[in-house]
Structure 1
Amino acid sequence: MKLKFIAAAALAVCASLYAEARKIHTIGDSTMATYDENTTVTRGWGQMFQQFFKGDITVNNRAKNGASSKSFYEESPYWQSVKKQIEPGDYVLIQFAHNDEKSNGCDGDELKAYYKSIGDETKANATDYRGTTASGTYKEYLRKYIEETRALGATPVLVGAICRKYFDGNTIRRNGRHDLGDKFDLIKDGKLTTGNKVSADDHTYDYPYQMKLVADEMGVQYLDLTTATKELYESYGDAKANELLFDGNGSTHTSAMGATLIARLAAQLMQKAGILTENINLTSDLSVNPSTLDFGQAYKGQTITKDLQINGFDLTPEEGTVSVTASNGLLLSADGENYTSTATLSYKGGNLIGSVKVKYEFSAAGDVNETITVTSGDKTVTVPVTGKCIELADGVPTSAYWRLEKDDECATEGPVSSLGETYSEMKLQKYSSPNANTTWPEGTGFDATRKTQRNIIEGESWPAGEIDEVSTRYIEFAAKPAKGTKLNVNEISMYVCGCGGNGMRCKIYYSKEDNFANAVNIADFSGAMKANDMMEVKATPVLELNENETLRVRIYPWYNGAATGKTICVSDVKIAGVAVDSTSGINTTDSTEQKAAKVYNVNGMRQSGLQKGLNIIVENGKAVKKVAVK
């Protein structure tokens, strides 16, 4: 009896510890994902979700561009890494459908197998495996997420996918609500039929409806964000919704305003369902996202710009202004062009959804601790601003450089080795100029005759219906430091363009994880690739690469419609930084003292003086000459 009492008491203590969730993990696709404000105006609603919670609640937005219920589960960087972050008492919000429709109602693997069975390798190669069947494999993957979330002691919540802005008159049509019943493909009895249709009351191909069935079957809460966004878009109408709620690149991805309103709808649905009601904050008269603005690490002399989202609902008076003031060193802009220490946002109707850009130049090594004050009437919100300015330690200038004019050879300088260029579902077409009218950015010295590496999708036919990256299709460049050295990377750069039409799109990321987890976006050309116009990509990451780590840079291309023969041109890929011996690192202290000349070998190892072989003389952190000793 005593043991039973102790066990019951222990369970009660555990229950009290986890009575209030610490994290809400959001998993889904690009409509939920987090975006870099310096590369795109697109925002996902998961990115805006945090501001609608109070208390000890943290939103961990792990949604991934291009993910379907299948690909997010099957590809190692995603669901498996999220599970490691889930703790008992957490919630997991699950939204998929957009990319589950990739095979127009068929399962992608089944469709690929069908094409192979009839000997059509071209169509088999062009088939996107991410597709699921609404009433079949889609539901199977949802069940997996639910079961595995519960096994971790957390609570799964299914969320209907937000609508696409597909208007038919004044209403969102059927396929905009992720119901493919008006036109779908079907494999039955070994045959593929296309353009099939079922009645409006047949929900066999309706993804949100099938998700609701899984929720009922497994006793899971279902948030009908599909209907909520349908009503939101219809309340604005096609033109106004396009102007205010979307990012200007189609009918799927939202702007900051659209993402914020959808995030608020999701919080309202949670409150209505009785989920974390004590922690939901819907009627705050002023909120700022993020609540702490962290610039992260930056090199001395680097300038970084961040977005600060400022929202107000039920503001009094109903018409007025919100003032934003920055402390010393920070600059603000409401229009993205004119920067001062203050900014003003106007609002009407008691509601404000706006943002200011915050710019900071890292001029002295050490920690950054500044503040931004947001004021509306007698309401004031103070936002801490943090960061760290660092200096590179003395070392050897190092780079891996792929010119890509006639081959894929990599020229290296310093203690670094290239792991070469690799392809996944892409291939080299040829080396040539994109076009006789090709333009290059000023200062390159290149003209239209300069050759580039032209790459094309396997099978040479780009599929229809792609609006975002495909996680299994990419071009990769990789490099790693030599043994015994550490590489402090401070540049990743290249030139890219589309060739053969204006429909080429791409995103570019880097990661030092073997499975490309925690990838960082450095370029987003979701709607801005003009054919034959070479565009520069240049990022300044603060990245320390140890001798056993590899830096991978990936280009993820897609085309915005079915097309044949279109290529993506790549040129002058560079990974650069400063190499030091593995016991050195990044210098975070400011010093104005003149640094004495130091001697390093070609592997970046510090030497007491000139030694046999090639010696590199470094003064003030820069290599000034090389000395060979026989």
Structure 2
Amino acid sequence: MKQALKVSLFVAVVLLSSFILTKPADKPTLFLIGDSTVRNGQGKGDGGLWGWGSFLHEFFDTTKVTIRNEALGGTSSRSFFNRGRWQAVLPQIRKGDFLIMQFGHNDNGPLDDTARARGTIKGIGEETKEIYNPITKQQEVVHSYGWYIRKMVEEAKAKGATVVVCSPIPRNDWTAGKVKRADEAYGKWAREAAIASGAFFLDLNTLVAESYDKEGESKVRATYFNTKDHTHPIEAGARLNSAKVVEGIKGIKGLSLKKYLNKQAKK
């Protein structure tokens, strides 16, 4: 009886060990962070407006990668970083995960206004300015847009994540039949911050702008936006932006994230 029990225990241990050894590794997670153009409201079409992050999962094999849209409307690189949102995301990041970030739409504002106090110093430099923040009611040292981007990249990479920095999608603003681009401001600074921190760069602003220019101002205004908002697209516009993110991912040499695209997206 004792011998039979010993044999049973041995078999159980072998089976358990085999399960542990053959258990598939946990799926990596693709985290998305940014403002409302990545996730508007609750990410369910609040007010008929959408962020591109709400549709990105449609391009991926979600049996192999998990996608978490942690973007928060109204945030700049600064307010996302230092008002708790980044501190909530960072501990979730593990080795082998991915992070895509897109900021810039809300960085071009006052540093210390009573409504938002979310602006950043223009550029990617090391200059700072100490202010009294009327929202947090504390003194705060404000950094440049690029500083906050670099800081989040560095912290995510230290956790073992692969990071992609996107330039911000273009607004529905036009001059002489061409959509306004961000290649002399936040698009340029996003690229420079990505290079400086060793992240991949995805020029989403240019990819979307080229598509807009090809389709033309009238069609873009009628198809991708409503008449009351020049920043946040409706569903069709967000889907276009999401497809352009995927196009950018596929075009980045050495970015392993592309292997998790589904068969249709890989075509």
TM-score (structure 2 length as normaliser): 0.76
Amino acid of the structure 2 residue aligned with 1:172? V
Q: 1:226 aligns with which of 184, 205, 228?
A: 205
Q: Does 2:189 correspond to 1:210? A: yes
Q: Which residue of 2 aligns with 1:82?
A: 89
Distance 1:263 1:282, change over 3 A: farther
Partner SS state of residue 227, structure 1: helix
Q: Does 2:217 correspond to 1:238? A: yes
CA drift of 1:149 comes to 0.2
2: CA distance between counterparts of 1:88 and 1:56? 15
Question: What's the RMSD between the two structures over aligned residues?
Answer: 2.4
Q: Does 2:137 correspond to 1:131? A: no
CA drift of 1:282 comes to 6.9
CA drift of 1:281 comes to 3.2
2: CA distance between counterparts of 1:284 and 1:96? 25
Distance 1:241 1:47, change over 3 A: same
CA drift of 1:31 comes to 0.4
Q: Does 2:35 correspond to 1:23? A: no
Aligned counterparts, 1:502-541, within 5 A: none
Q: 2:107 aligns with which of 100, 104, 114?
A: 100
CA drift of 1:284 comes to 5.7
1: CA distance between counterparts of 2:109 and 2:190? 17
Q: Which residue of 1 aligns with 2:39?
A: 33
Whose relative contact order is higher, 1 or 2, with alpha carbons under 8 Å and at least 6 apart? 2
Amino acid of the structure 1 residue aligned with 2:203? D
Amino acid of the structure 2 residue aligned with 1:281? N
Aligned counterparts, 1:25-424, within 5 A: 25-36=31-42, 37=44, 39-54=46-61, 55-76=63-84, 78-103=85-110, 108=111, 112=112, 125=114, 128-135=116-123, 136=125, 137-173=144-180, 177-178=181-182, 203=184, 206-274=185-253, 275=255, 276-281=257-262, 283=264
* Structure 1 residue ranges (4+ consecutive) displaced by more than 6 angstroms after TM superposition: none
Amino acid of the structure 2 residue aligned with 1:212? R
1: CA distance between counterparts of 2:162 and 2:98? 5
TM-score (structure 1 length as normaliser): 0.33
2: CA distance between counterparts of 1:28 and 1:259? 14
2: CA distance between counterparts of 1:228 and 1:130? 27
Partner SS state of residue 80, structure 1: helix
Higher strand share: 1
Which of the two has higher C-alpha Rg? 1
CA drift of 1:38 comes to 7.0
Q: Indicate if the aligned counterparts of 1:98 and 1:178 stay in contact, CA closer than 8 A.
A: no
CA drift of 1:125 comes to 3.9
Higher helix share: 2
CA drift of 1:178 comes to 3.4
Distance 1:45 1:38, change over 3 A: closer
Partner SS state of residue 48, structure 2: coil
Partner SS state of residue 146, structure 1: helix
Q: Which residue of 2 aligns with 1:475?
A: none
CA drift of 1:218 comes to 2.2
CA drift of 1:82 comes to 0.9
1: CA distance between counterparts of 2:227 and 2:55? 19
CA drift of 1:241 comes to 0.9
2: CA distance between counterparts of 1:242 and 1:129? 31
1: CA distance between counterparts of 2:188 and 2:222? 29
Q: Indicate if the aligned counterparts of 2:49 and 2:234 stay in contact, CA closer than 8 A.
A: yes
Partner SS state of residue 26, structure 1: strand
Distance 1:282 1:272, change over 3 A: farther
Cα deviation code 1:112-150 (max 9, x no counterpart): 4xxxxxxxxxxx546x42111231411110111011101
CA drift of 1:248 comes to 3.7
Distance 1:235 1:38, change over 3 A: closer
Tell me the matched-pair count. 222
Q: Indicate if the aligned counterparts of 1:24 and 1:90 stay in contact, CA closer than 8 A.
A: yes
2: CA distance between counterparts of 1:241 and 1:87? 39
Cα deviation code 1:234-268 (max 9, x no counterpart): 12222211211124432110111111111111011
Q: Indicate if the aligned counterparts of 2:78 and 2:148 stay in contact, CA closer than 8 A.
A: yes
CA drift of 1:277 comes to 2.3
Cα deviation code 1:541-566 (max 9, x no counterpart): xxxxxxxxxxxxxxxxxxxxxxxxxx
Amino acid of the structure 2 residue aligned with 1:266? V
Cα deviation code 1:530-587 (max 9, x no counterpart): xxxxxxxxxxxxxxxxxxxxxxxxxxxxxxxxxxxxxxxxxxxxxxxxxxxxxxxxxx
2: CA distance between counterparts of 1:39 and 1:260? 15
Q: Indicate if the aligned counterparts of 1:264 and 1:282 stay in contact, CA closer than 8 A.
A: no
Distance 1:268 1:38, change over 3 A: closer
Task: Please list every run of 5 or more consecutive structure 1 residues that lacks an aligned counterpart in the other structure.
Answer: 1-12, 113-123, 180-202, 286-313, 315-630
Amino acid of the structure 1 residue aligned with 2:99? V
Partner SS state of residue 73, structure 2: coil
2: CA distance between counterparts of 1:98 and 1:56? 32
Amino acid of the structure 2 residue aligned with 1:164? R
CA drift of 1:35 comes to 4.3
Amino acid of the structure 2 residue aligned with 1:59? I
CA drift of 1:57 comes to 1.3
Distance 1:17 1:39, change over 3 A: closer
